């Protein structure tokens, strides 16, 4: 939340590296959920 606050209040640049890491984790998490968690 601090990063978003800096962007909105102070005009800081978007932390693209951290956003990219978060996106990778999101894709990996969704992939793992699709593979291992099935409705029976």
Encode pLDDT of 18-32 as tens digits: 889 999 999 999 999
Q: What is the pLDDT of residue 39?
A: 76
Are the beta carbons of 18 and 3 closer than 8 angstroms? yes
- Tell me the average pLDDT of the chain: 85
Where are the strands (E) in the chain, listed by range?
Answer: none
For the CA atoms of the chain, what is the radius of gyration? 15
pTM to 2 decimal places: 0.61
More confident residue, 20 or 8: 20
Give the confidence band of 11 by pLDDT, cuts at 50, 70, 90: confident
């Amino acid at each position: 939340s601090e990063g978003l606050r800096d962007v909105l209040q102070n005009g800081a640049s978007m932390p693209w590296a951290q956003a990219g890491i978060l996106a990778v984790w999101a894709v990996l998490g969704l992939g793992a959920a699709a593979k291992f968690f099935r409705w029976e």
